[in-house]
């Protein structure tokens, strides 16, 4: 809880600083315009133009100065997440492929630590580049942008897919039906993630999603019958997206009478456990690019139940206030 309150405070502080800054700028311009405007009407028009030009000039100078220092200020470091994540692997490939990232490091930690670092950087209007993905609540909470990736290292649009172990259809046809029919939209996943980010437990956020979206949930359970305490295990990684989706599916299965276990694992272990049949399924497969290698390794021992969400994306994400648009705008350490 403390973490979330702190973030909200931080965001509020960031916003008020921006407003104060904007207010000051506007005040000064108006002031000087008014004073000079008293001298002559004609001049006012000219000065208006000059003023505009000066403003632009100042803006550019500031911008290029910042952008020259961004990479150094960031210590030539991309703020990553869990070591096994596809987006971290892609960032490492980007460091190898882009001249602009020569000598950079991809620092790994956790999705939570990345989010904290991002929030802190934004509070201080400092530059930061994170391994990002969407859907994600960070785009609702902050003004962020993906850096252009002209070499296509981070792939194009991704789907999040559902994978189950072989034999699930025979053993647990009702769970199979639900997993096969589970599919939702970015906005729904976003609102669930945001609720969790704002302090709700994943269980509570999932329960309220199910309560508020009964028609959609009915379309997932259509044709599935209630069971009496049959055990099922879903595996996931503690990425915000997967925490949300896995708990929503877990809630639906619980309501059908299943005894549900949700187990957080590392990415590679998650794939392995479904492929080996240790776990029953997962809703966390990012394809075609993010988990391409893991899919290639395990696809013959899994059943692919198709997309549960379309229009996902990964890439390097920076705050809007950074005057860079492309990975190529960054600067090598060497
Ligand atoms: N992610 C979220 C994962 C997939 C889901 C983008 C952090 C990854 O990079 O493997």
**Ligand 1 binding site (Cβ under 6 Å of any ligand atom):** 81, 85-87, 133, 239, 241-242, 267, 286, 290, 314
Ligand 1 centre distance from Cα of residue 239 (Å):
7
> What pLDDT, on the 0 to 100 scale, is given for residue 52?
39
Dist. CA 273–CA 330, nearest whole Å: 39
Ligand 1 centre distance from Cα of residue 237 (Å):
9
Q: Which atom of ligand 1 is nearest to the CA of 85?
A: 10
Which candidate, 178, 161, 166, places its Cα nearest to that of 308? 161
Dist. CA 77–CA 80, nearest whole Å: 9
Dist. CA 103–CA 274, nearest whole Å: 37
Ligand 1 centre distance from Cα of residue 68 (Å):
30
Supply the DSSP string of 232-288, one letter for each residue: EEEEE-S-HHHHHHHHHHHHHHHHTT-EEEEEE--HHHHHHHHHHTSS-EEEEEEET
> What pLDDT, on the 0 to 100 scale, is given for residue 69?
79
> What pLDDT, on the 0 to 100 scale, is given for residue 68?
55
- Entry pTM: 0.80
Dist. CA 316–CA 62, nearest whole Å: 23
Instruction: State which of 266, 269, 286 you would mutate to test the pocket of ligand 1, scoring each by most atoms of that ligand within 8 A of its C-beta.
Output: 286
Ligand 1 centre distance from Cα of residue 45 (Å):
54
Dist. CA 163–CA 285, nearest whole Å: 7
Tell me the two tokens of residue 320: 């809007």
Report mean pLDDT in 10-residue bins for the chain, 334 residues. Answer: 36 38 37 39 40 40 54 96 97 98 97 97 97 96 97 96 98 98 96 95 98 97 98 97 98 98 98 98 98 98 98 98 97 89
């Amino acid at each position: 809880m403390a973490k979330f309150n702190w973030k909200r405070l931080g965001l509020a502080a960031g916003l008020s600083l921006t407003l104060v800054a904007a207010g000051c700028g506007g005040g000064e311009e108006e002031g000087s315009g008014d004073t000079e405007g008293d001298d002559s009407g004609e001049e006012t028009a000219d000065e208006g133009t000059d003023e505009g030009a000066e403003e632009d000039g100042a803006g550019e100078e500031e911008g290029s100065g910042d952008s020259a220092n961004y990479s150094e200020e960031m210590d030539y470091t991309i703020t990553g997440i869990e070591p096994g994540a596809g987006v971290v692997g892609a960032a490492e490939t980007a460091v190898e492929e882009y001249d602009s990232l020569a000598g950079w490091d991809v620092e790994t930690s956790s999705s939570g630590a990345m989010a904290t670092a991002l929030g802190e950087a934004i509070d201080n209007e400092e530059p930061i580049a994170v391994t990002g993905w969407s859907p994600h609540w960070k785009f609702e909470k902050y003004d962020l942008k993906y850096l252009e990736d002209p070499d296509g290292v981070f792939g194009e649009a991704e789907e999040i897919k559902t994978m189950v172990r072989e034999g699930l259809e025979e053993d647990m046809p009702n769970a199979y039906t639900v997993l096969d029919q589970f599919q939702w939209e970015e906005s729904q996943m976003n609102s669930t993630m945001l609720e969790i980010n704002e302090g709700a437990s994943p269980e509570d956020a999932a329960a309220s999603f199910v309560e508020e979206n009964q028609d959609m949930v009915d379309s997932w359970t259509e044709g599935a019958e209630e069971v009496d305490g049959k055990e099922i295990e879903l595996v996931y990684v503690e990425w915000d997206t997967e925490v949300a989706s896995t708990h929503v599916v877990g809630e639906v299965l619980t309501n059908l009478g299943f005894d549900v276990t949700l187990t957080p694992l590392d990415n590679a272990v998650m794939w392995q456990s479904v492929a080996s049949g240790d776990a029953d399924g997962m809703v966390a497969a990012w394809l075609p690019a993010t988990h391409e290698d893991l899919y290639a390794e395990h696809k013959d021992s899994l059943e692919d139940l198709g997309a549960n969400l379309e229009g996902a994306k990964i890439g390097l994400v920076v705050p809007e206030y950074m005057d860079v648009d492309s990975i190529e705008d960054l600067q090598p350490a060497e």
